[in-house]
Amino acid sequence: MLYLASQSPRRRQLLEQIGVDFSVLDVDVPEQRMLGESPQDYVSRVARDKARAGLASLDQANQSQANDAIVLGADTEVVLDDEVFGKPQDADDAAAMLRHLSGRTHAVISVVWLASAAREECVVCISQVRFAPLDESTVATYVATGEPFGKAGAYAIQGRGAALVEHLQGSYSGVMGLPVFETARLLRDFNAAAA
């Protein structure tokens, strides 16, 4: 049985899109970058911690359930100049992030970990996103929609944020939060793909 260790509606939607049966687990994992930790190592650690926390919660609830479980943990962050842009704390923080990303190319790192009682494996997907130059009016209007909140880098490529993106090289679904191609391949490797 596959479990998704995430409350993200986007990740649920993307897994449903590829026809995978799964249940959702609510895990609480600190998302704090360690001193000297590279952005990719940070994203990978958080995703792995989510998968492990999900597996541990099943283990506590029902040992036999945990033995057959595969838990998917994922994390996605926006990175520019070695700085990780997580979810904005408020409107001012969101506006500051968008100004920083304006007219520049940033990386979106998505890491997916699968964990079972027997093994762990991951895939990494890095996409390059270039924002058009954004004037203050554009930034303020977008922040006022409320869409930037709860989104890494303060934008949602699947929503109104698409209008900010001048160019994308890589995985659209990876920028959304779950790289579908890479995730489907990883699930096949674990014999957890859709029938």
Active site (catalytic) residues? 75
- Written as one string, the DSSP assignment of 95-150 is HHHHHHHTTSEEEEEEEEEEEESS-EEEEEEEEEEEEPP--HHHHHHHHHTTTTTT
Give φ, ψ of 192 to 5 degrees: -120, 20
- Closest Cα to residue 58, out of 16, 5, 12, 15? 5
CA distance 70 to 190: 8
* Coil, strand or helix at 79: strand
Residue type, 158: Q
- Closest Cα to residue 111, out of 195, 29, 49, 19? 49
CA distance 132 to 118: 46
